[in-house]
Amino acid sequence: MYQRIISELRATPTKFHYTFNLRDVSKVFQGILMTKPVSVSTETAFTKLWVNETLRVFHDRLVTEDDVQWFTDLVMELTTGMFKSAVTKDELFGDNKVMFGDLLKLEVNRNYEEIL
């Protein structure tokens, strides 16, 4: 994903903040590593977690509808091609967008899990 983003979403005068670097990749991995095996026990759950983290890191910076559409198409291409996942576009980007967080429980040892 990172290689495609840096080659196809270049910074321009109107999109000067499109400067992506390896720090962004590390933020995706940091988000993935915040989970525990209990909350991500299936391949589908892991795919949703990866999508959530890439949305949080890369998608949130996109400003045009064309770029957002390009990104969602890239996510779907990678989830079906690399992850071999059967997650649909509606599951990820529909009315109930995929979200992860640790807000559901007020315990000391909160778990970063999917918010349904």
Span 63-72, pLDDT tens digits: 999 999 999 9
Collapsed DSSP state (helix, strand, coil) of residue 4: helix
Residue 105 is predicted with a pLDDT of 67
Q: How many CB atoms sit inside 10 A of residue 89's CB?
A: 13
Q: Provide the token pair at 47.
A: 């795919």
The stretch 44-62 carries a mean pLDDT of 92
Domain holding 48, by residue range, is: 2-114
Provide the whole-model pTM.
0.85
Q: Provide the token pair at 29.
A: 């991995």
pLDDT band at residue 104 under the 50/70/90 scheme: low
Is residue 45 predicted with pLDDT exceeding 70? yes
Q: Nearest Cα to 101, choosing from 86, 114, 83?
A: 114
Q: Backbone phi, then psi, for 114, in 5-degree steps?
A: -70, 135
Residue 88 is part of a domain; what is its CATH number? 1.20.920.30
Burial of 116 (0-12, 13-18, 19+ CB in 10 A): exposed
Number of domains in the chain: 1
